[in-house]
Amino acid sequence: MRREPGRTAAAVALFFLAAGFVSARTIDIGGARLETRMAGKVECVPLSAVAAALNGRYWRVHDRFVMLLPGDSVRPGREYVLRADSTCALFDSRRVTLPAAPVLDSDRLYLPVVALADLFPSTRVPNLYAVETARKGDTLVFALLGQCGPGEKLVGFGDSRSSLEYRLLIGARRDSGFGPQVAILSLTPPGILKAVALDSGAGTALNFSFRQPAAERLTVLPDRVELRVWPKPERAIKRLVLDPGHGGKDPGAVGRLGTREKIVVLDVARRLKKKLEKQGFEVILARDSDRFVSLADRSKCANSRKVDLFVSIHANASPNRAACGFETYFLSEAKTDWERAVAARENAAFETEDSSTGLNVGGDVGLILADLAQNEFLVESSELAARIQEATVPQARIMDRGVRQANFYVLRNNFMPAVLVECGFLSNKSEEKLLRQFAHRERLAEGISRGIVEFARLHSPKANGVPSGGKDKRTSPSKS
């Protein structure tokens, strides 16, 4: 993929601008005009300002923020308990699901504007009264109309959970006729839209599901939110790279019985290659023997051959010898200490590589640049990880440690969906014994293969049900 230097620099600048807080506008809460801030796509207002506007007070207890608002002769006081980065809140000891999570910055908690209507019934926000639909060729247009008072405007943002799911959040209430109109949308003639429903936990959230991978564009105007969706062009998934981790001078993790990660993952990769080739895919091994391959060469192998998927195969290790199970990663900022620890162990082999390659940039800047390169494939990478995880756990009869995200060097600079699988823990005595068994490696390869084939099927739907990278045995494969 060719990228213009000017566009890349602009994207980096935009990323840093969006990552911080920038001024947006003012809104009315309790008769006071409060200035909002943008945190990425989310418009927020400080909890401290909300408390002051409503004559309340707030305090912090460890990771919780507690706000108490005064009552009157008719209504008792109200208590709120909120956490940063959590959509779960307590309102007078009653659990409430917010449409978006509060954000913590410099020890100040910011509340998303889209959550204010649910938290504070007296807050003045626009009212959604109608939803209209239109078709323009393959594009389906949803227009959500709002009534706005003086100084009010609709706010909203979307979240692509996958190419088959989209969640739209709007900072507004809805009148009695809006819900039934949304329900009718799911009864429209068959097309790209499968269903749309109001989120039961937050009235301002709509969940869209699609029959095939979809692209979308959201436009937010003062009194109108417009969502356009259209089918993603079918992209033939024909060629992929399997990357057995470590190799040569780098053994990777070593179990107590002497089992070396580099040997195990190469065997799994070879078995997986055979299975995928039987399905008609072209499979390239980043290394096909016990030799060391640099990060630069692994990425070059994927990008120079213009492959459609990149799957790196590893085995895990942990100081906690009871840790066990299978997990799949895609490239993003690690959110937990465990994800950071796994990334640090797998990245250790690359720390000393020649910096002239430009691929071993560490820290946040390196991750931002990698994310910008991978952003186009972020959703697809997370979907591929989910398909592999869902297929492999029952097939290999192994503990499910879930889909995770971390800053793996080996996933950077790959301009295609890319994931890293951890097949089990060599530091766990029982799992090391399993990983030494050819039958277990065969089950792992079968599960990973099924996940890849399912991903290819969903992203390249064909009438005969054969993945676009695969061969229909009744006909000759088409030429690319």
Structure-token match 């995200």, residue found? 405
Convert the pLDDT of each residue in 377-399 to its tens digit. 777 888 899 999 999 999 999 99
Q: What is the pLDDT of residue 241?
A: 92
Q: What is the pLDDT of residue 291?
A: 93
Highest average pLDDT, of 28-32, 272-276, 315-319, comes from 272-276
Which tops the pLDDT comparison, 315 or 363? 315
Q: What is the pLDDT of residue 372?
A: 39
Taking the whole predicted model, whether its pTM rises above 0.85 is answered as no
**CATH superfamily, domain at 239-459:** Zn-dependent exopeptidases (3.40.630.40)
Mean pLDDT of 237-246: 91
Q: Which of 7-16, 28-37, 81-90 has the lowest mean pLDDT?
A: 7-16
Cβ pair 83, 93 in contact under 8 A: no
Q: Does residue 248 register a pLDDT over 60?
A: yes
User: Which residues in the chain are classed under CATH 3.40.630.40?
Assistant: 239-459
User: Which residues in the chain are classed under CATH 2.60.40.3500?
Assistant: 127-231
Q: What is the pLDDT of residue 348?
A: 56
Amino acid at 410: V
Q: Does residue 234 register a pLDDT over 60?
A: yes
What whole-number percentage of the chain has pLDDT above 90? 31
Which tops the pLDDT comparison, 335 or 166? 166
Q: What is the pLDDT of residue 414?
A: 54
Amino acid at 168: L
119 closest CA partner among 157, 69, 55: 69
CATH code 2.80.10.50 for 127-231: no
Q: How confident is the model at residue 440 (pLDDT cuts 50, 70, 90)?
A: very high
Mean of the per-residue pLDDT values of the chain: 78
β-pair type (309-316, 239-244): parallel
Q: What is the pLDDT of residue 7?
A: 35
